[in-house]
Structure 1
Amino acid sequence: MARSAWQGTYSFDGFTLDGRSAQLSYQGRHIPLRPKAYEFLLLLLHGRGRLFSKEELLETLWPDTIASEDSLAQLARSARSALGQTGQDAIVNIPRRGYRFDLPVEAKMPEQAAPRPEVHYAMSGDIHIAYQVVGEGPIDLIYAPGWVSHLEYGWESPLVAQFLRGLASFSRLILFDKRGTGLSDRAYGLPTIEQRMDDVRAVLDDAGSRRAVVFGMSEAGGLAISFAAQYPERVSALVLYGAFARRVRSATYPWAPTAKERQKFYDEIERGWGGPIAINEIAPSLAGDTAFRNWWAAYQRRSASPADALALARMNTGVDVIAQLPAIKAPTLVLHRKKDEHVHVEEARLMARRIPSAMLRELSGADHLIYAGNQGAIIEATREFALRHGAEDCTG
């Protein structure tokens, strides 16, 4: 069987396996599995109930190597273990004959995959800001990504696509690349917070959005906070995830990185840009996943040049929006994973205390990256909050 025939997406009993990226997930949570076990499981799923002989499996999975039935049995055990209680019922061994997948499978082949959203450009002064609009929900939601991003390449990751489609399932989702990143203009020099806020207004205006739920992730939390404080008439609700109010440690803000720690991060960018920068800290659940590491490295390379990435990192060090927190009038949801090592949960607690009428939701997990770990909990909390507070007509 040609391997190109495997490149579908297969869903069963809450699990999803994407054949193009070799990513297995359960209800949005990534499940690590070594590459050969992925191939074994993917082949069975593609067969959807067909009995594969041991000879066919050995020849397909090890085309250039002599492998034993013990090797095949080990793959079966690995795949069953990854599927938990579902594994024993799903992967059936017919003695002396072979293996088959014994549960109902919903398959979506590549030609059925959802098309990539169209890229538009809004003019912010003389700078082009790239954006996309996804979904037709009753509210507008503009998502500001952390640090660097790339609108088109982000969709190449099943985890990112799943997260964005989740947000778009209940909203008209507006995505954009901040100036200096992705498909937006690589403007000379460091952008000011005022320029970044102008960029958000330009995107909302061009997308025909009068009022929106503003969702800021990580570094973009400062942008979202500033925008909500300065333009309350454009913000129906505010959602912050993994955000911070300051990026320089002080006696009153002891959770931020030290100057030495920030310098270490700058050095990592200068020496290692092109590799999976910071993956161990921001996405520990995916740090050992080769496919995701490769995608993350390519995503960063496409999102910014080494010089741009370093400049943006230095700019982020200057973020300080503590004084603006009490000025926020919009209903606010603060989301944070309790064991996030990149941004301490106490930073979320401080913001929730100082933003009037803010609600704090502390989530389980250690991943800082929003689409790593249990992204379903983030999507559901955002959906419930946004629909409750952003139900006004958001379109012009």
Structure 2
Amino acid sequence: MSRYRTAEVPVAGGDLHVGIWEPENGTADAAPAVLMIHGVTASHLSWPLVADRLPFARVIAPDLRGRGRSNELTGSAGLDAHARDLVAVLDALGIDRAVVVGHSMGAFVALVLGERYPERVSRLVLVDGGLPLDVPDELSADEVIRLVLGPTAERLAMRFASVEAYLDFWRAHPAFTRDWTPALEAYFAYDLVGEEPELRPATRYATLEEDSMDQNTGTAIAEALARLRHPTALLTAERGLLDQLPALYAADRLPDLLSAHPGITHVAVSDVNHYTIVLSERGADAVADVVRDQLALASAAVLS
């Protein structure tokens, strides 16, 4: 029997679509819980490879509002809204506390969740996200958003005649030339909504813009990092979004970033980029190893 199922959780403005991997043995109530939060234009299908490596855990991964099958939700977005949605998911599934794992934008959401609802989080795992990005200081807020969203906005405006045409678009992307798999095809195919020949990416641009404005120009992230309430691990990818150097967190910036946040432990993950740190076998191995360690530490803390 498959561990995987989906559920719809009522939140403000509609239902949030949630992927759930139940533990292979034992009952869900007795299993440790892991809440996984995807990136800015991703979905819960960012996480199957990592979930497969945690067969003893209950893994919960929603499509954030404005993405995936949660893309029709109405109302405001932003980091606080996502945090409230995630608490609603935990409540609906009867989960008191979880190890929270966030990739890319999901890492920033994880920090805000931990700040706003500290009792619902045991430990944090930030995957190539969460710490301040390297954005030129002289740019205005609008310029920052244009810099961050430019290529993504172009893709969200595109239309595709077929699923295969969308897969061809991503096959040509330098981040995936070494790591094309059936699981990756399923991830990208899930991203499409609409009908042929007018298929389009599921992410709503207005939601994306609202989230990016909050993440890049708001105060929530700085406040969460200044008052970091939970043991936190950061994993960084060796290469960036286009499989290039420097990475999102360049090696020459990391020492200063980490010294500014001494409560964060760091794991550098080699031979992966910003995407394949979760969407490849070797990336999933590294992430799952850290999550497994964090679950063990959370369990030991409860027993002590």
* Distance in 2, Cα, partners of 1:121 & 1:387: 30
Q: Which residue of 1 aligns with 2:190?
A: 299
Identity of aligned residues (%): 19
Which of the residues 233, 236, 248 maps onto 1:344? 248
Q: How does 1:256-267 map to 2 (within 5 A)?
A: 259-260=146-147, 262-267=149-154
CA deviation digits over 1:15-52, x for unaligned, max 9? xxxxxxxxxxxxxxxxxxxxxxxxxxxxxxxxxxxxxx
* Distance in 1, Cα, partners of 2:132 & 2:170: 19
Which of the residues 255, 260, 264 maps onto 1:358? 264
TM-score (norm: length of structure 1): 0.58
1:219 shift after superposition: 1.3
Q: Is the 8 A contact 1:367 1:373 kept in 2?
A: no
Equivalent position SS for 1:198: helix
Q: Is the 8 A contact 2:191 2:201 kept in 1?
A: no
* Distance in 1, Cα, partners of 2:64 & 2:22: 18
1:336 shift after superposition: 1.1
Of structures 1 and 2, the one with the larger relative CO (CA 8 A, separation 6+) is 2
Q: Which residue of 1 aligns with 2:176?
A: 283
* Distance in 1, Cα, partners of 2:149 & 2:117: 31
Q: Is the 8 A contact 1:166 1:379 kept in 2?
A: yes
Is 1:241–2:127 an aligned residue pair? yes
1:311 shift after superposition: 2.9
Q: Which residue of 2 aligns with 1:372?
A: 280
1:345 shift after superposition: 2.1
Unaligned runs of 5+ in 1: 1-113
Rg: which structure is higher? Answer: 1
* Distance in 1, Cα, partners of 2:14 & 2:302: 29
**Superposition RMSD on alpha carbons, in Å?**
3.5
Q: Which residue of 1 aligns with 2:80?
A: 194
CA deviation digits over 1:262-294, x for unaligned, max 9? 3233123313566256662543422xx385664
Q: Which residue of 2 aligns with 1:81?
A: none
* Distance in 1, Cα, partners of 2:9 & 2:145: 37
Q: Which residue of 1 aligns with 2:222?
A: 322
Q: How does 1:29-48 map to 2 (within 5 A)?
A: none
Q: Is the 8 A contact 2:193 2:202 kept in 1?
A: no
Which of the residues 286, 291, 303 maps onto 1:382? 291
TM-score (norm: length of structure 2): 0.74
* Distance in 2, Cα, partners of 1:140 & 1:389: 11
CA deviation digits over 1:184-219, x for unaligned, max 9? 361235512221111011011111111111111111
Q: Is the 8 A contact 1:266 1:313 kept in 2?
A: no
Q: Which residue of 1 aligns with 2:15?
A: 128
Stretch moving more, 121-130 or 276-285:
276-285
* Distance in 2, Cα, partners of 1:263 & 1:313: 12
Evaluate the alpha carbon distance shift between residue 200 and residue 296 of structure 1 in structure 2; reply closer, same or farther with a 3 A threshold. Answer: closer
Evaluate the alpha carbon distance shift between residue 391 and residue 252 of structure 1 in structure 2; reply closer, same or farther with a 3 A threshold. Answer: farther
Which of the residues 46, 49, 64 maps onto 1:162? 49
Q: How does 1:8-87 map to 2 (within 5 A)?
A: none
1:388 shift after superposition: 1.2
Which of the residues 295, 310, 323 maps onto 2:205? 310
1:361 shift after superposition: 0.4
Q: Is the 8 A contact 2:125 2:232 kept in 1?
A: yes
